[in-house]
Amino acid sequence: MKRFANLIGLLIMLGAITSNLAFAKTTVKEVTFLHPVAVNGTLVKAGRYSVAFDDENGKLTIAKGKKVVVSTPARLEKLPEKSQAAYVTRTQTEGATITSVLLSVTLRDGNQATIGTESESSRSAQ
């Protein structure tokens, strides 16, 4: 009887743990930026970062260790085919300054987080 009670307790605990994992809406991936990139006006230096997309609030967060470097609005999109690129940038020129602007980050399961500017997110909310 005691063994049966332990088994039931173990199954309940295992179910609670897996249900939390099933409802988790944050996708985390390690990304190495080869060159500095601008993310919504913030310059992110070249290096290895942890990129997290929270589906619940539509935010993409880039962190170095435990320090959040930048958090920006983004939306999750399904890629039509598997991408080899970890991230997509575009070059922006302002006078003599050339900056790479981060457009999207490729996540797991054929998804990508596409960065939207603050003005785009406020327009879509109206």
Q: Which domain holds residue 64?
A: 26-125
At a CB cut-off of 8 Å and minimum separation 6, what does 91 contact? 98, 99, 100, 101
Residue 39 belongs to a domain: yes
Count of structural domains, the chain: 1
Read off φ and ψ for residue 72, nearest 5 degrees: -145, 150
Q: How many CB atoms lie within 10 A of CB 45?
A: 11
Q: Tell me which of 14-18, 34-38, 43-47, 117-121 is least confident.
A: 117-121
Whether residue 77 is contained in a domain is answered as yes
Q: Could you tell me if residue 89 is inside a domain?
A: yes
Both tokens assigned to 51: 């990129």
Any domain includes 38? yes
Is residue 66, in this structure, part of any structural domain at all? yes
pLDDT digits (tens, 9 = 90+) for 62-115: 999 989 999 999 988 888 877 777 888 888 887 777 788 898 888 887 888 888
In a domain, 14, yes or no: no
